[in-house]
A and B are shown apart, each in its own frame.
Chain A
Amino acid sequence: MSQGSHRKLFITCQEATYLISKDEVWATGLLDKLKLAVHLMICEFCRRFSKQTKIIERQARHLTPEARLSEEEKGLMEEAIKTKENGLQ
């Protein structure tokens, strides 16, 4: 947030999206919450940002890509393990 932002009630979209992103109760002060509420009343773009980033946060938990190692890669790993095991004995 810029220096003068403590005095003014109206914040910019850049400041508003920062406050939206900082979504934890303890992290934002009461005054910032008020400023954000005022901004969201008048700015549909930041309202969309807020709604859409919440969707992203919720969906991120479901990320589990179907990734598989090739047999060759696994073979190399097995060899590395064997070599290391022998080295440690």
Chain B
Amino acid sequence: MPDMLTPSKWVQSYADSLFGFAIARTGDRDIARDLVQETFLSALENRRTFRGESSERTWLFSILKNKIIDHYRRKGSERTVSVSGDAENADESYFFDEVGHWKSTLLPTDWGSAPEEARSSEFLETLQKCLSRLTAQCRGVFTLKYIDEMESDEICKELAISPSNYWVIIHRAKLLLRNCLEKNWLNA
């Protein structure tokens, strides 16, 4: 039922919320904008599949979600270049010495009363920045799990990664995010 859709009003009505959703998940303005545009174009191509069971808005969001997953999947298969000493691109061994203990320069410090302050907008802003510095695959997995609250096995399936690889990525993401927040939020 094509007449239930109003493409001429899509940009005005939904572009900003779709864009906000995409940028929170990709951390990249240009990529987010392109994904929103692709969403509108795909929606037009597939307008006949819209049955009116969900709202136009829900339908557009579900298309965008698939675009984002495709984006992560593409990124995951790209090799990421690790720059030595650059924590943003480091793997988990960056944080530990040869015997698996925390490196003395990277020991987690006491955050004190941080749990109560964590709700502050500065914390969330820094978290957003730290998230955008992760590699695309790391960011994608973390975002699907903790922002979208998707199930782990579902994420593995969607991104075509093995469970053991998945936990390694989660471990890496948490090490990097914690360290980044400590440096840029706690000690800012």
Contact = CB atoms under 8 A, between A and B. Distances in A.
Interface in A38-84: 45-46, 48-49, 51-53, 55-69, 73-74, 77-78, 80-82, 84
A62 B174 contact: no
A66 B20 contact: yes
B150 interface: no
B37 A77 contact: yes
Classify chain B's interface size.
35 or more
Nearest to A24: B152
B177 interface: yes
Given A13-B96, A67-B29, A53 B174 contact: yes
Give 8 closest A-B pairs by Cβ, nearest first: A12-B100, A60-B146, A14-B100, A21-B171, A48-B108, A14-B96, A53-B174, A67-B23
Given A52-B108, A60-B146, A85-B7, A18 B19 contact: no
Give the interface SS of chain B, mostly helix, strand, loop or mixed: helix
Interface in B127-166: 127-128, 131, 142-143, 146-147, 149, 152, 163
Contacts of A56: 127, 146, 174, 177-178, 181
Contacts of B175: 17, 21
Given A27-B167, A85-B7, A85-B44, A80 B37 contact: yes
B154 to A, nearest CB: 13
A61 B29 CA distance: 20
B40 A81 contact: yes
A88 B45 contact: yes
Contacts of A73: 33
B32 interface: yes
B108 A49 contact: yes
Interface residues of A, number: 42
Contact of A49 (B7, B12, B167, B178): B178
A22 B170 CA distance: 8
A63 B142 CA distance: 12
A12 B96 contact: yes
A14 B110 CA distance: 19
B16 interface: yes
Given A13-B100, A85-B7, A65 B41 contact: no
B1 interface: no
B85 to A, nearest CB: 18
